[in-house]
Amino acid sequence: MIEVRELTKNYGPHKAVDRLSFSVKKGEVVGFLGPNGAGKTTTMKIITGFMPPSAGSVTVAGFDVFEDPIEVKKRIGYLPETPPVYGEMTVESYLKFVARLKGVEKSKLSAQVERAIEKTDLGSVRKRMIQNLSKGYRQRVGISQALVSEPEVLILDEPTVGLDPRQVAEVRKLIKDLAGHHTIILSTHILPEVQATCERIIIINRGRIAAEDSLDGLSRRMSGSARVHVRVVDMKDSVVGDLRSTPGVQGVVARGGGVIEIDTDGSKGITPKLAERVVTAGCGLLELREERINLEDVFLKLTTSEENQNKGATL
Amino acid sequence: MRGALVIAGKDLRNIFASPLFYVIAGVCCIAWTILFIVSVAAFLQPQMQMMSGADGMNLHFTVFAKHISLVNLVMIFAVAAISMRLFPDEKRQRTFDLLLTAPVTATDITLGKLIAGTVTAWALVLVSLLYPLSLVFWGHLDWGPLACSYIGLLLLVACYVAIDMFTSSLTQSTVVAVILALIFNVLLWFLGAAADASESPLQRQVFEHLNVSTHYVNFLKGNFSVSGLIFFATVVFFFSFLTQRVVESTRWR
């Protein structure tokens, strides 16, 4: 649905996004995670056709963002960091305006406005002027605005900022409900948010992808599970099956160079048991290392080590 | 074009729903009313009638021309005040992001704003037309010159709208927009004065063509001039083009 290839954006000498490549499948919910200034908003603005990249290409539903911007924009609902609302309009008239602007047909207009109001639970304030609404309601109007044209792709830039905990939960639920019908990219710097809503996570830092993983992969790490890295001299096929059948092992991946990665549930005593299996198989154990990490660690490690690398490069 | 109309519709609804427009309209009407009463009263004095010979004085030149010139003067300020919010409001409320990510082109956005500004300004001009029309029961109106001078006025006002829309696209601040707009509007009138300062005949000719007051006075006298029409249309097109470039430039700035 969305293909981003070698995307680069420079602001003068500063590289906001540096050769970013990823793709999002139809119906997927992808979380963009990164510290402030990592290039999340810039990437999103480029996908929406708001501004052109310095290099690289983006296609949405097969249309290139810079060759067919109108076709792409028809298919995207975008919520910027600040909800783009007119204070002097009522919620209902504003949503009608956005629907018309996005080219919704007259016959479907009021039905789609109704649906957007219903989904974001704005029924009680529909006749109120937006300038008199609280920040949380305005944010919801912003989300509603992105939904009103029923776009295939939704791009939400920090959708839960400024909401109270109950509203945050509601918005997260809404995003989950929308998954499947829409392809969603959302950005945030709040870790649990990603966990609550996304199927796949892209962590970016300093304009580059620091990590990409599925929610399963991440939640396994989060639940305190551990990954064991094993390096052997002589890789035997039987050892992989052997390890896989060990109780407590969730997955075994044999990589090149005699490296085996074993995902475990982190139960006590599993690592020695694995070591024993490798040794009895006669592979010649060279290295065995246990990694116990959670998402915070992943995030911090990925974002700070990159920084150090960059510092090293400039020195 | 569809996008332009949607944007124009939204802007018009917001302009006519705001108190600012009615304040501007009220102030305009006060100025027009005072001068109109004064000039009608002067016109009715017997000695004035006698001075002008057997046919009596011409209502169009003594009353209406004055009125239309005042309307023009007032519109220099009124259009600046109406147009000052066209773009700065969008930028301040961050709704410009919405327009730029919607399936409309920069031309649609510019055209929408131009339509909204022009319709509003023309509505005011049409209110000013009520003054001359009010005399229809008491005197003989020259419909030709009146219509012609109002066409000229509408064209001139459209020029102010295009110019002021351009100045408002340059800034986020309505105050800066309104000051720039006034400077540009007044400058338009001084452009022709450069003719006196130029030496080469060609230069002179060029500046004489750029003289707003020549074109405007032509319309006021009741001469519908095609060159005037082309001049005003060019000004509108030129400043709309500049605005379109400014809107487009927000993408890469």
The CA distance from A7 to the nearest CA of chain B, in Å, is 15
Inside any domain, residue A79 = yes
Residue A311 in this model has a pLDDT that exceeds 50: no
Which of A86, A95, A161 would best serve as a mutation to test chain B binding (most B beta carbons within 10 A)? A86
Pairing status of strand A29-33 against strand A200-205 = parallel
CA atoms within 13 A on the CB side of B23: 7
Residue B216 phi/psi, 5° resolution?
-65, -45
Residue A155 in this model has a pLDDT that exceeds 70: yes
In tens, the pLDDT along A3-45 reads 999 888 888 888 888 888 888 988 888 988 887 778 888 899 9
Question: Which of A86, A100, A102 shows the shortest C-beta gap to B14?
Answer: A86
User: Residue A313's pLDDT band (boundaries 50, 70, 90)?
Assistant: very low
End-to-end CA distance of chain A: 41
User: Residue A290's pLDDT band (boundaries 50, 70, 90)?
Assistant: confident
Mean pLDDT of A56-73: 90
Inside any domain, residue A311 = no
Inter-chain contacts counted by CB atoms under 8 A, chains A and B: 68
Quick one: angle between helices B106-133 and B143-169, nearest 10? Answer: 140
Inside any domain, residue A72 = yes
* DSSP state letters, chain A: -EEEEEEEEEETTEEEEEEEEEEE-TT-EEEEE--TTSSHHHHHHHHTTSS--SEEEEEETTEETTTSHHHHHHTEEEE-SS----TTSBHHHHHHHHHHHTT--HHHHHHHHHHHHHHTT-GGGTTSBGGGS-HHHHHHHHHHHHHTT--SEEEEESTTTT--HHHHHHHHHHHHHHBTTBEEEEEES-HHHHHHH-SEEEEEETTEEEEEEEHHHHHHHHTT-EEEEEEESS--HHHHHHHHTSTTEEEEEEEGGGEEEEEE---TTHHHHHHHHHHHHT--EEEEEEEE--HHHHHHHHHHHHHHHHHHHH-
Q: What is the pLDDT of residue A117?
A: 92
Inside any domain, residue A314 = no
- CATH label of the domain that carries residue A202: 3.40.50.300
User: Residue A301's pLDDT band (boundaries 50, 70, 90)?
Assistant: low
For chain A, the domain total comes to: 2
* DSSP state letters, A64-90: ETTTSHHHHHHTEEEE-SS----TTSB
CB contact under 8 A, B103 and A70: yes
Q: What is the pLDDT of residue A294?
A: 57
The CA distance from B120 to the nearest CA of chain A, in Å, is 18
Residue A293 in this model has a pLDDT that exceeds 70: no
A202 and A139, same domain (yes or no)? yes
Q: What is the pLDDT of residue A66?
A: 84
CB contact under 8 A, A49 and B14: no
Inside any domain, residue A246 = yes
Interface residue ranges in chain A relative to chain B, Cβ cutoff 8 Å: 48-52, 70-71, 73-74, 76, 78, 80, 82-89, 93, 97-98, 100-103, 145
- CATH label of the domain that carries residue A278: 3.30.70.100
A102 and A244, same domain (yes or no)? no
A284 and A152, same domain (yes or no)? no
CA atoms within 13 A on the CB side of A139: 17
Residue A262 in this model has a pLDDT that exceeds 60: yes
Q: Which domain covers residue A281, as residue numbers?
A: 225-293
Q: What is the pLDDT of residue A67?
A: 87
CB contact under 8 A, A49 and B101: yes
In tens, the pLDDT along B150-174 reads 999 999 999 999 999 999 999 999 9
User: Residue A109's pLDDT band (boundaries 50, 70, 90)?
Assistant: very high
Q: What is the pLDDT of residue B80?
A: 94
CB contact under 8 A, A101 and B13: no
A287 and A210, same domain (yes or no)? no
In tens, the pLDDT along A228-243 reads 888 888 887 788 888 8
CB contact under 8 A, B103 and A74: yes
Q: For chain B, which ranges sit under pLDDT 70? A: 47-57, 253
The CA distance from A33 to the nearest CA of chain B, in Å, is 22
Interface contact B101, partner A, CB < 8 A = yes
Q: Which of A121-125, A158-162, A276-280 has the highest mean pLDDT?
A: A121-125
Interface contact B137, partner A, CB < 8 A = no
A240 and A202, same domain (yes or no)? no
CA atoms within 13 A on the CB side of B51: 8
A99 neighbourhood in chain B, CB within 8 Å: none
A140 and A30, same domain (yes or no)? yes
A33 and A172, same domain (yes or no)? yes
Residue A62 in this model has a pLDDT that exceeds 70: yes
A123 and A229, same domain (yes or no)? no
A231 and A199, same domain (yes or no)? no
Inside any domain, residue A41 = yes
State ipTM.
0.87
A199 and A240, same domain (yes or no)? no
Locate the chain B residue with the closest alpha carbon to A84. B95
A29 and A64, same domain (yes or no)? yes
Taking phi over 0 as left and psi of -120 to 50 as alpha, with beta for the rest, A39 belongs to left
Average pLDDT, chain B: 89
Question: Which of B6, B14, B251 shows the shortest C-beta gap to A101?
Answer: B6
Locate the chain A residue with the closest alpha carbon to B17. A88
Structural contact between residues A271 and A234, judged by C-beta atoms closer than 8 angstroms: no
Is residue B7 helix, strand or coil? helix
A47 and A81, same domain (yes or no)? yes
Locate the chain A residue with the closest alpha carbon to B7. A101
Locate the chain A residue with the closest alpha carbon to B6. A101
Look-up: residue for tokens 């007259």? A106
Residue A278 phi/psi, 5° resolution?
-65, -40
- Point out the domain boundary residue: A190, A218, A246: A218
B10 neighbourhood in chain A, CB within 8 Å: 86, 89, 97
The CA distance from A139 to the nearest CA of chain B, in Å, is 13
Which of B101, B111, B253 would best serve as a mutation to test chain A binding (most A beta carbons within 10 A)? B101
What separation in angstroms does the CA of A291 have from each of A42, A191, A271?
34, 20, 11
Interface contact B95, partner A, CB < 8 A = yes
Locate the chain A residue with the closest alpha carbon to B19. A88
